[in-house]
A and B are shown apart, each in its own frame.
Chain A
């Protein structure tokens, strides 16, 4: 029994990591409908920022997270202004090719700057020691991920569903001309939103390094998992991504525990079934 709870807690924490990692994609791909396969590249950027700050400058771990997010967000805004906004009106295939190219280029740059090897990311002791919560023992990092994920999910759902900013973004995506007609500065709005997506990618990357490692192939390694989260959750729905990510983490952990022979494939089976029966994902009713 305690084994089951422990597995479930670890699985949920892993799901939360997937969620934090995929928020940025949910914003750029889901809300803005830009097929952003370069999401992993922004995440990698945040990861390297965190590693350099932590190992090179001795910046405390918690402080590296906002810096990584802001830095990646800034790079996102600059790229959006320079090139990406020209890609929005293009057909989906061109968006795919463009963003894949961007991700390859980012990987090559990382290879030149940091070399092909794994980057060490040693978390502080309070995050790696196990904490006894009575029913379950879990490491500080996993607790941290769960809490962080809950806060981020709440804040973002509120931002996009309950604020004027969120209403403007949704309006601009659904009908750009009408939005401009009523005085929304869509170009600027998209730059800010894309920057926000990139910042969350950077944050997710920085959080993921301690768990998933970091090298120049990072932009593509986890792309499939992230696309799964966004696809199952329903593009454009932060809440949907949240439910999908946590469910995937927990289900994956349970099946690996009870039927290790096939457990690893179960989530992919779920993806196929979801795509057949709910092609628009969990939050399908919200999709336009």
Chain B
């Protein structure tokens, strides 16, 4: 055996070649003790375009995690290489970036995917290349079924919608009108809210599906008011659309007139709350994280986050999702004792239990999807600013679409 090791890269080219030749000649004689080595985690996020702030939130989460937990797991140094997939509508780019990370950057694990089409486009590639793909945002239920190497640490929209439906049925809401944006996630939200709400004895008495980028909601809200429901359930895709929707519910005085307004938590995302202002008053929402959660892991997370981004910075739930994505990778590396092949990593991920800033989470071994607490929150004023304050916890929620 040549004394030089090709992995360390310190020896000259010739000795490396000699070493490689020797290793090839005697494959069983490899060193039994694990060596110092590095592992590349390829990160695919939207870092330019309309959704750049989502990608930035995710990136923050990765940085905060490595700030707290360092870059080493045992003798493996975890290094991230980040690529920009420019947001939804660029699934082909997401696939190409994934391929580039695997082939050129030698990424052994991929982390990221903010949008469903981007995750779906990379699915067959991950299967073929045998690389685990940790999803940290894309929320359509089916994604994890498209590759055995996918695992999700974020959430699925049905988790939020169904939790809200169950809660509404239990809390005196008998009839509901629904207003959802007319595209995949909106229909998902409508379906799963309705299923859970009607299973609990409630009745959906009508609904409207609105254009995805529509900004004028008063005709739809007028119809909703005339239907005289106890509650109004809504989903919209975030950003300016959700701000416009929420402001117009305030204009129409939906909450003030006694109709319970319920939305999935992403509609009233923390980074939209300042633009919504008092339109948030009394709005009930369901989400898997909020800054106010009181647990040790969240304290540690917030402290490091604010050290990095300033004392008044507010993390998004997306920051936590990326943080947990890294936590899952570190956890898996500890479990496998340094083995980084896809099968070992995936076996360690299945059934993994972690203490997240959002509370205890688990990766369902059967579906590789997340099981987590969903918090029911109400919009109210706290310390001079509007916030969503949790008042009820639904524990251990699985993705209802796979249950």
Contacts and interface: CB of A to CB of B under 8 A. Distances in A.
- Secondary structure at chain A's binding surface: helix, strand, loop or mixed? helix
A252 interface: yes
Interface in B40-54: 50-53
B207 to A, nearest CB: 9
A144 to B, nearest CB: 13
A253 B216 contact: yes
Contacts, number: 86
Contact of A128 (B51, B251, B272): B251
A94 interface: no
B220 A260 contact: yes
A117 B215 CA distance: 17
A116 B244 contact: no
Nearest to B51: A116
Interface string A26-63: 00000000000000000000000000000000000000
A3 interface: yes
Interface string B18-54: 0000000000000000000000000000000011110
B208 A260 contact: yes
B275 A128 contact: no
Interface residues of B, number: 32
Contacts of A10: 216, 218-219, 222
A85 interface: no
A256 B274 CA distance: 29
Interface in B211-268: 211, 213-216, 218-220, 222-223, 226, 239-240, 243-244, 247, 250-251, 253
Nearest to B218: A10
A256 B244 contact: no
Contacts of B251: 128, 130, 139
Contacts of B239: 118, 213, 215
Among B222, B223, B271, residue most surrounded by chain A Cβ atoms (within 10 Å): B222
A234 interface: no
Interface stretch (A67-75, A119-127, A151-159, A270-278): A119-127
A212 B208 CA distance: 21
Interface in B194-215: 208-211, 213-215
B50 A257 contact: no
A116 B46 CA distance: 12
The secondary-structure label for the interface of chain B is helix
Interface residues of A, number: 35
A89 B127 CA distance: 56
B211 A116 contact: no
Contact of B277 (A120, A211, A253, A260): A120
Nearest to A216: B50
Interface string A227-265: 000000000000000000000010011101100110110
Contacts of A6: 218, 222
Contacts of B56: 116
15 contacts: A3-B222, A10-B222, A14-B216, A116-B53, A116-B56, A122-B275, A128-B251, A212-B244, A217-B50, A252-B216, A257-B223, A260-B209, A260-B210, A260-B223, A261-B209
